[in-house]
Chains A and B, each alone.
Chain A
Amino acid sequence: MEAPPSFFLSQNRSLTLKPSSPLHSHFLLPNSNNNNNKNRFSSTCEIKSNLRNWSIEHVREMNKDSSIHGNNNSSSSSFSSSLVSVSAATSSEFRTKNAKKVVLFFCDETKSLAQKIASESDSIELRTISWGKFPDGFPNIFIPNAQSIRGQHVAFLASFSSPAVIFEQIPVIYQLPKLFISSFTLVLPFFPTGTSERMEDEGDIATAFTLARLLSNIPISRGGPTSLVTFDIHALQERFYFGDNILPCFESGIPLLKRRLQDLPDSDNISIAFPDDGAWKRFHKQLQHFPTIVCAKVREGDQRIVRIKEGDPSARHVVIVDDLVQSGGTLVECQKVLAAHGAEKISAYVTHGIFPNKSWARFEHDNGGHPESAFTYFWITDSCPLTVKEVTNKPPFEVLSLASSISASLQI
């Protein structure tokens, strides 16, 4: 992240932005006339510029007696230079000026998301790879103009939707860092195989660990270890699966949800429901300002049923939040118990819409009044591109795109 620009009080008592910011603005602090008094001197200033509004958060009090080499103009006053930190009111315009140029490669599945990411920023350039197959089924891959990426920041947008496609993308991921690029970032929005892993017996095989191992062995580039950007990784411990040659950057899709909720007509009637303690652990800190409902699965004889552990859904628009959905069974069970306790509307958000075997088809749209059997909204991100293709324009589904979040993460 760029450091905020710094201000220095120069000897002619103007504030200049350093070092080479385009936002040069000068203004003068009030002159102090009284040389001999220890005048406390502070001011707040506001700088307006074409690009953004700045406000100075902190101005150090200056002791007039502190000595400084004076020039003839300012011999009567003294001041010390102070470093004033400024925080940006908005970041996107500033970033555009100083952004890193990134060359973004992608695979077939991620083409549409890659295009969205590139449209978010002028500093991202899309490049193609030629993906072929030899007759024996093995990949025949070629990176056109490989020499022209030397010295550039390079990223690859991957999607490991099935074991078969992993082996097609890994050779590219292993090869790109070695082409004299200045840094390499792997964006893998959804890290698969994490969910069903339970090392219960010695003999259980951790495929998430296998995948982490494959990624940890990406060669380092001139920019050092590869950065790995992934969203809402399922098991928080999985961050420890990665070796030191890779720098995982764990992002979340929740900010997209929060923005979407703000736009709803009933945004002041939203409660968040977590289907289990795991989801609560993952997300409650990001959703603190919403009323919360936590569900739990309890055993009753042979069965496991969902109960509300805490919180009250009655008359609320409840949004069930989880990191991913597979068959949807968990969501449906939560929905039933929330409706039974009086929820007026029920929606769902998952970052990753895996939906194997088209299980999304079981979710119907609630046009009003049927929270027990239908959803008002079902938000997913575009981390799982194959699902996105299938549910686009099919209410209750709505896709919240990770494009801007990914575009920002490429600047890290």
Chain B
Amino acid sequence: MKKAMVKCPKKHVNLFYSVDCEELARNVASHSFDHVTLQSIKWRSFADGFPNIFIENAEELRGQHVAFLASFSSPAHIFEQLSVVYALPRLFVASFTLVLPFFPTGSFERMEEEGDVATAFTLARMLTNIPISRGGPTSLVIYDIHALQERFYFGDEVLPLFETGIPLLKQRLQRLPDAKNVVIAFPDDGAWKRFHKQFDSFRVVVCTKVRDGDKRIVQLKEGDVTGHHVVIVDDLVQSGSTLVECQAILAYQGAAKVSAYVTHGVFPKQSWERFTHKDGASDNAFAHFWITDSCPLTVKAIANKAPFEVLSLAGSIANALQI
């Protein structure tokens, strides 16, 4: 008879968070019964615009597990959060975990020429330099990092934990009335590489961009979608053009319904607007558009706007904090 592995007792974690992440932090705490205690930070600014930050009850953190939930939604907010992240490990805490659901700047990096400046690498370097605490290197929790190679950007002083939002999507798909009719579509080979292993039990199609003279058009590379509910899966969305092009080709090929899932709804410059259901429109292109709450500013903007639905990472983060 197999001996059950001894389960470690649950760790009690003190969770700090950036201003944008307050709602997600509360969700994480409520998912964890009493294993996660929310802690607050006084975020103020000096007159010159630089942060004036104070961690309350710092002495009570000694010997405790501590985590920080960050959101680097724009360069302006990185510095104030980084100051906290560099300070917390040194308060005699038992361990430190940085939860950064969305690792930005990754998607545009293409080191094609010497002279390209890799901002993702800069960010990775800044995170690698988080001081170690009594618990050793900082754990760094990131969801669906864009470029798989980015995991090698991090030095030995941090322990990256690469999580994914796909389980949330799968749970949600199971609850659809037409769950048995779902086909997963990947908008390009990159998405296929990232995710196909998690969709072994699903039917899968792959799109591809081909050059047609000056234009690049999307084509269905393989698979048949006629009559199915097709869910396009990708790690993130920016302007949404890729999704729109895919949806067009899938509809053309006979898909009954098209939905989309991205872990990170980056949507710069409100680009989510092109997806909202317009009243009176005869066909709203996407039946469902699922995103997680990795990008809190977007979550606020699309609240209660069909077809958007937010799948929360809170439960997944709560589990990650126990690692």
Please, which residues of chain B bring their CB within 8 A of the CB of A171?
117-119, 121-122
Q: Is the CB of B50 within 8 A of A193?
A: yes
- Chain B, interface size category, equals 35 or more
CB 8 Å contact bits of A320-334 with B (1 = contact, 0 = none)? 000000110000000
Whether, in the assembled complex, A28 has its beta carbon less than 8 Å from a beta carbon of chain B, the answer is no
Whether, in the assembled complex, A138 has its beta carbon less than 8 Å from a beta carbon of chain B, the answer is yes
Whether, in the assembled complex, A202 has its beta carbon less than 8 Å from a beta carbon of chain B, the answer is yes
Q: Is the CB of A163 within 8 A of B87?
A: no
B interface, over-half SS: mixed
Residues A196 and B52 in contact in the complex (CB < 8 Å), given A136-B268, A213-B129, A357-B47: yes
Q: How far is the CA of A37 from the CA of B51 in the complex (A)?
A: 78
Give the shortest distance, in Å, between A261 (CB) and chain B (any CB). 28
Whether, in the assembled complex, B57 has its beta carbon less than 8 Å from a beta carbon of chain A, the answer is yes
Residues A145 and B115 in contact in the complex (CB < 8 Å), given A138-B108, A163-B78, A207-B50: yes
Q: Is the CB of B268 within 8 A of A137?
A: yes
Please, which residues of chain A bring their CB within 8 A of the CB of B78?
163, 166-167
Q: Is the CB of A206 within 8 A of B118?
A: no
Q: Is the CB of B84 within 8 A of A205?
A: yes
Instruction: Kindly identify, within residues 113 to 157 of chain A, every residue whose CB is under 8 Å from any CB belonging to chain B.
Output: 134-147
Quick check: which of A44-52, A172-180, A290-298, A392-400 contacts chain B, the rest being far away? A172-180
Whether, in the assembled complex, B114 has its beta carbon less than 8 Å from a beta carbon of chain A, the answer is yes
- Chain A, interface size category, equals 35 or more
CB 8 Å contact bits of B98-140 with A (1 = contact, 0 = none)? 0000001100100001111111011001100100000000000
Please, which residues of chain A bring their CB within 8 A of the CB of B125?
174, 217
Q: Is the CB of A210 within 8 A of B52?
A: no
Q: How far is the CA of A203 from the CA of B119 in the complex (A)?
A: 30
Q: How far is the CA of A85 from the CA of B25 in the complex (A)?
A: 69
Q: How far is the CA of A214 from the CA of B104 in the complex (A)?
A: 19
Q: How far is the CA of A204 from the CA of B119 in the complex (A)?
A: 29
Whether, in the assembled complex, A266 has its beta carbon less than 8 Å from a beta carbon of chain B, the answer is no
Whether, in the assembled complex, A162 has its beta carbon less than 8 Å from a beta carbon of chain B, the answer is yes
Whether, in the assembled complex, B269 has its beta carbon less than 8 Å from a beta carbon of chain A, the answer is yes
Q: Is the CB of B269 within 8 A of A192?
A: no
Whether, in the assembled complex, B54 has its beta carbon less than 8 Å from a beta carbon of chain A, the answer is yes
Give the shortest distance, in Å, between B95 (CB) and chain A (any CB). 19
Whether, in the assembled complex, A264 has its beta carbon less than 8 Å from a beta carbon of chain B, the answer is no
Please, which residues of chain B bring their CB within 8 A of the CB of A164?
74-76
Please, which residues of chain B bring their CB within 8 A of the CB of A193?
50-51
Chain B CB count within 10 A is highest, among A141, A174, A207, A359, for A207
Instruction: Kindly identify, within residues 175 to 214 of chain A, every residue whose CB is under 8 Å from any CB belonging to chain B.
Output: 175, 179, 192-193, 195-196, 201-207, 209-210, 213-214
Q: Is the CB of B105 within 8 A of A138?
A: yes
Q: Is the CB of B80 within 8 A of A136?
A: no
Given contacts A143-B115, A162-B50, A179-B114, 8 further A-B contacts (CB under 8 A): A139-B119, A142-B117, A144-B115, A146-B114, A146-B115, A163-B49, A207-B80, A213-B86
Would you list the 8 A-B pairs with minimal beta carbon distance, nearest first? A146-B115, A203-B58, A164-B76, A167-B75, A163-B79, A141-B117, A135-B268, A356-B47
